[in-house]
Structure 1
Amino acid sequence: MDIENLKTDLKERLTEARYEHTLRVTDTAINLAETFHGPVEKAKIAALFHDYCKYDSLEEMKKIIETNSKLPNLLLSFHHELWHGPVASVQIEERYTVTDQEIKDAIFFHTTGRANMTMLDKIIFLADYIEPGRSFPGLDEVRAAAKTDLTKACYQAARNTVHFLMEKNRTVYPDSFHAYNDLNQQVFGGIINE
C-alpha cells in the first residue's frame, strides 16, 4: 500500500483537524504496537483508515449499511457517530483492496469495542481514545495504564465511555457493553461480588 497516496486521499476527505487527529492516532497506534509487541504495519494501516468515512454523508452511509450484508442494520438504531467505522471497513476493501479481516475489524470496532478484542482491535480502540490531542476527564488514568497494560487501559476507556453515555442518558451500543464486560473479566479475572 502506498501510504503517501493514502495520506493525500485522507487530506482531501477529512478536515484539517481530523487529518491531524488521524496522524496522531497513527503515531499512537504504532507506539502501542511496538510497546506490546503487536502488528505494527497493520496498526499503521488501520489507524490511517479508522476515520476514512467520518465525513461521508449520512444518507450515503445509511444506504451502505442497508445494502451491505457485512454491516448490521442495528447500527441504524443508534447514533450516526457509530456508522463511520463499520462503513469504512467495507469501503476500504472496495476502494483500496484491503482484505485483511483483522485490519477491517479494528476499523469496524474502533469506536465501540467488542467482546474478545484482538490485540489490533485494542490498539486502535485505545490509540483513538488516548491520542495526544484529546483532553477530557479520566484520560490521564487511561494514558498511565497504557504504558504498561493494554487490556487494563482498554477496560478503563470502555468503562469511561459507557459511564459517559449513561450520564448523558444516551443509548449504548451492545458491542460497547460486551467490550466492557469482557475487558472487566480479563482485568479482574471473573465475577466480583462486593
Structure 2
Amino acid sequence: MDRQEMIDRVRAEMPEKRWLHTEGVMATAIVLAERYGEDPQRAELAAILHDVAKFWPVDRQAAVIRDNALSSDVLDYDKELWHALAGAWVAQREYGVTDPEVLDAINYHTSGRRGMTKLEKVVWLADYIEPGRNFPGVDDIRALAEQSLDRAVLAGLDGTIGVLIARGKRIYPLTVEARNGLIEELSGKS
C-alpha cells in the first residue's frame, strides 16, 4: 500500500479533528527524527498509524487485545491506552507494516515502556507536543525537545503521571517503568 492510500484509509477511520492531530504528529515526528538521527520515513509511518484504532468502539479494541493474546493486563487500566495495542495489531494485519520498531512505536505511543527505542521516543513525544496540543507546560516541553529527546520525554511522562494522580486514576505500570528507565539512562545507571 502506498503512502497516500494509507493516509486516505486512516483518515477515514477518524473525525477531522483527530486527523488534524495526526497530521501534527506526522510533521513533529519528522522534525524530531531528523533532529535526533532517526529515520524520518519510519517515524512518519508510525505517526500516520498511531491513532488508527482510537475511534473504534472500546469493545472492538478490547476484543482485538483479548483475541490476539496482546498485553491483556492493559484492559485493567484506562481505556485511553487500548487503542495503541489495537492500532499496532491493525497496522500489521490490515496495513502490511512489518517493521517491528514501527509496530512498537505505535504500540507504546500512549504508555511508553522501559528501554524505549529512539523511534518509540520520537513518536511518543511527537504525539505529546504536536502543534495542536494546548495544555499547561507543553511549550516548556517543546523547548526542551529542541535540546534533549530523553529529557523532553521524561518531562512528558512526569506531566502525564501528574495528571493521572490529580484525577485519581491508576497508572499503567509500563508508564512508571518508562519514567524510571529514562531516569536511569539520564543518570548513567542503565
1:115 is aligned to 2:144? no
1:139 is aligned to 2:143? no
Match in the other structure for 2:156:
157
Distance change (3 Å), C-alpha of 1:119 and 1:91: same
Q: Which whole-Å CA distance do the structure 1 matches of 2:110 and 2:169 have between them?
A: 15
Match in the other structure for 1:34:
34
Match in the other structure for 2:186:
187
TM-score (norm 2): 0.96
- Would you say the 8 A contact 2:6–2:95 is kept in 1? no
Stretches of structure 1 that go unaligned for 5 or more consecutive residues are none
Matches for 1:5-154 after TM superposition, within 5 Å: 5-69=5-69, 71-154=70-153
Coordinate RMSD, CA, aligned: 1.2
Q: State the identity as a percent.
A: 36
Residue type of the alignment partner of 1:160: G
Moved over 3 A (4+): 188-191
Q: Which whole-Å CA distance do the structure 2 matches of 1:139 and 1:164 have between them?
A: 13
Stretches of structure 2 that go unaligned for 5 or more consecutive residues are none
Q: Which whole-Å CA distance do the structure 1 matches of 2:130 and 2:76 have between them?
A: 29
Q: Deviations over 1:106-144 (max 9, x none)?
A: 000001110000000000000000000101112122111
- Would you say the 8 A contact 2:52–2:87 is kept in 1? yes
What secondary structure does 2:25 align onto? helix
Shift of 1:189: 3.6
Query: May I ask how many residue pairs the two structures share in their alignment?
Result: 190
